[in-house]
Structure 1
């Protein structure tokens, strides 16, 4: 299907790929992708780029125009990939026994996404293409460079240089202090909000509160709103959420609806189900974020960040069907490697990456260590943006990264 809107022409594609690329004769799934191009260049022979969305479990952007792709579309045709299990790709539904489901979900990590990309690249007759990896899409890019660099002409990474050999424990040991700093900065900007947060936390700890979808709003679920503090404008959004929290002595319906939407996984359960497994290259993650939760984060004025906890699979209806499978994934201790350190060190594919110095989700220290171990990599370190810098100022960021790979800066 072809659709043209102001500044954008889109063409839909579907591809049948093996569930397990090591078993090409086995079951298949569908991977959906949307090709976008500037309308005035629709008939031109343009270089291709594939956009690898954040996540895990994130579908590609649904655009109403060029948006943050405007600079890329001046010169490229872009494929927006609904990574397996997301969007219009075959959904990763909770079917079969927990053991069968856990085994199936093991085929939804970066290695399988890279194999899907290579399948699609060949199906479209593309000799080589470029990647744009946002957040987790940068993790996938590193796996791509490890497993199939011959398909790549150049790579661009925005806030997603993963630690090559960092475990989930390494990640949370570094990111909990970053969350603590974001909370400190939030209260420094809005000092009156500490009392508001504490009052809501104490109310939730003493009163049964139900969200519009029927899930309980517990203190620990309330704390997960700290995820907002890692995005540009997130502190302001949280501030205004607090500003209209109460009607009389109860939490307002509008407030409860907004909290539900911010903390629910209805649109993407894979994000929670696979979150810790994206870091493992062998050992079990064993609910790393839960094990490493610092004691001070249990205080009523504290929040958590981009962490997934086992209680979520009991409290949230979108995750309950995955509960037993998630336990099995947390126990799994034979995860295959995602990165090839030797191959990355000798990499010759040009890589340009922006590292956000104050990123709450992806630790800048781990990112810079990876950059130092990745051949042909140029890095721009900035504290001008939060983790969502690509969406906040896509034109500037994409222009800078393209100039870096072209040797202009």
Structure 2
């Protein structure tokens, strides 16, 4: 199938050009089924005819579309000072061929087939897509990549599978464990999430009373979300996902202050509160995040087996049934969410098959990383709730020539919040820092 002609337009001082190419579902079978891959090239207005180097943005996730120019973080304007920026909707997201409850319905009850399909949506496939996109733009000339969070994971896969495609790699909050199992990831994540709970309640001490009151109300009342399903205590607890970024750390506080109103039958949870909860905990806009969150760590024969769910038992502070103060969970996905979230219910069988899979291909080539020749600089956030600092630094030590900057001043979204983060990485890469 031929690719549409690129479409260009101007927006807010930017020149944007939309591109769509076809890529194989399985890069090992280029003659098999294909997917549509969408990417938007952005250049500063007035510089559209200059020969600027291209920088590929690999966003966090998994399962998140690329940022749109009208809502992009602080990094974009800084990057455009010297680059053409390519915003690629990773396969399954945005304007690329979507993978969600509607498109996966074609598999019916063949959950193993659906799981096999979703197995092609990890970092290895994303990197191979990026390589086809690079050749679409500039032939065999390498480009640079900026990987944020899961995009950093994909960057390490890029360095493992196709380092010849990269001239420079920048990573922010995204150095994964190269050999650890998902259990190791979540065991460290639960401990960090408890620390972020303590910080939150130290800042807003009265919110403990409110959170406990909401949980008690949910235990004794059939409270329905805007989408019709019952709001459970355990789903309410997943609001701690907001603790990991500077932009959203305080959002739970302003949500909790709207929680209750005096109804005909006594205290009731408000529509404002329930709509806010739904916006934060629903996976309707990013179902792949839930389906693939543990598989992004899977390599070899050991299954993930709902790692976050199992490891949670080692941290009784998160058990609301024990009667203690409510503690919110963070970046974890649980099997019961595929029963309670309407956007995930149709994906339950596929998710269970993914959790049981025992033949995962490797995502990282340790020997190639140890012999790496691509210049790599990485921002490691000291108190990152989502990516473990010690895992990140161990990985940095395993990649030849990788230079790190450990920041105590930024949360996981530092590159989006402050242009100084990318400025520091660019200076490190240029030898100015």
The two structures have a TM-score, normalised by structure 1, of 0.98
Superposition deviation, residue 213 in structure 1: 1.1
Correspondence for 1:173 among 165, 170, 187: 187
| 2:417 is the counterpart of 1:403 | no
1:144-155 → structure 2 map (5 Å cutoff) = 144-155=158-169
Q: Which residue of 1 aligns with 2:112?
A: 99
Report the secondary structure of 1:286's partner residue: coil
The Cα offsets for residues 172-204 of structure 1, whole Å up to 9 and x where unpaired, read as 111100000000111111111111100001111
The Cα offsets for residues 226-270 of structure 1, whole Å up to 9 and x where unpaired, read as 000111143321111111111111011011000000000111100
Q: Which residue of 2 aligns with 1:383?
A: 408
Report the secondary structure of 1:37's partner residue: strand
Report the secondary structure of 2:249's partner residue: helix
The Cα offsets for residues 358-388 of structure 1, whole Å up to 9 and x where unpaired, read as 0110001100000111111110101211111
| 2:142 is the counterpart of 1:124 | no
Report the secondary structure of 1:234's partner residue: coil
Q: Which residue of 1 aligns with 2:258?
A: 244
1:200-211 → structure 2 map (5 Å cutoff) = 200-211=214-225
Alignment partners' CA distance in 1, 2:383 and 2:259:
29
Larger mean Cα displacement after TM superposition, 13-22 or 230-239: 230-239
Alignment partners' CA distance in 1, 2:431 and 2:228:
55
Report the secondary structure of 2:250's partner residue: helix
Larger mean Cα displacement after TM superposition, 56-65 or 129-138: 56-65
Correspondence for 2:14 among 1, 4, 8: 8
Report if the CA contact (8 A) 2:379-2:405 is conserved.
Answer: yes
| 2:297 is the counterpart of 1:272 | no
- For structure 1, list consecutive stretches of 5 or more residues without a partner in the other structure: none
Report the secondary structure of 2:15's partner residue: strand
Alignment partners' CA distance in 1, 2:385 and 2:379:
15
The two structures have a TM-score, normalised by structure 2, of 0.93
Alignment partners' CA distance in 2, 1:251 and 1:62:
34
Alignment partners' CA distance in 2, 1:158 and 1:63:
19
Superposition deviation, residue 64 in structure 1: 1.5
Superposition deviation, residue 215 in structure 1: 2.1
Report if the CA contact (8 A) 2:60-2:149 is conserved.
Answer: yes
1:5-84 → structure 2 map (5 Å cutoff) = 5-64=11-70, 67-68=73-74, 69-84=76-91
CA pair 65-5 structure 1, distance change in 2 beyond 3 A: farther
Report if the CA contact (8 A) 1:7-1:65 is conserved.
Answer: no
Report if the CA contact (8 A) 2:58-2:145 is conserved.
Answer: yes
| 2:277 is the counterpart of 1:259 | yes
Computed over aligned residues only, the root mean square deviation of the Cα atoms, in angstroms, reads 1.0
Report if the CA contact (8 A) 1:155-1:351 is conserved.
Answer: yes
Q: Which residue of 1 aligns with 2:122?
A: 109
The Cα offsets for residues 192-223 of structure 1, whole Å up to 9 and x where unpaired, read as 11111000011111111111111221101100
Report the secondary structure of 1:21's partner residue: coil
CA pair 40-65 structure 1, distance change in 2 beyond 3 A: farther
Alignment partners' CA distance in 1, 2:197 and 2:138:
49
CA pair 215-66 structure 1, distance change in 2 beyond 3 A: closer
Report if the CA contact (8 A) 2:73-2:415 is conserved.
Answer: no
Report the secondary structure of 1:41's partner residue: coil
Runs of 4+ in 1 over 4 A off after TM superposition: none
Correspondence for 1:192 among 206, 210, 219: 206
Report if the CA contact (8 A) 1:8-1:66 is conserved.
Answer: no
The Cα offsets for residues 31-81 of structure 1, whole Å up to 9 and x where unpaired, read as 100000001111111101110010000100012277521111011001101
Q: Which residue of 1 aligns with 2:394?
A: 369
Report the secondary structure of 2:274's partner residue: helix
Alignment partners' CA distance in 2, 1:187 and 1:3:
46
Alignment partners' CA distance in 1, 2:172 and 2:184:
21
Superposition deviation, residue 295 in structure 1: 1.6
CA pair 189-66 structure 1, distance change in 2 beyond 3 A: closer
Alignment partners' CA distance in 2, 1:8 and 1:338:
35
Report the secondary structure of 1:360's partner residue: coil
Q: Which residue of 2 aligns with 1:298?
A: 319
Report the secondary structure of 1:359's partner residue: coil
Alignment partners' CA distance in 1, 2:210 and 2:37:
45
Report the secondary structure of 1:70's partner residue: helix
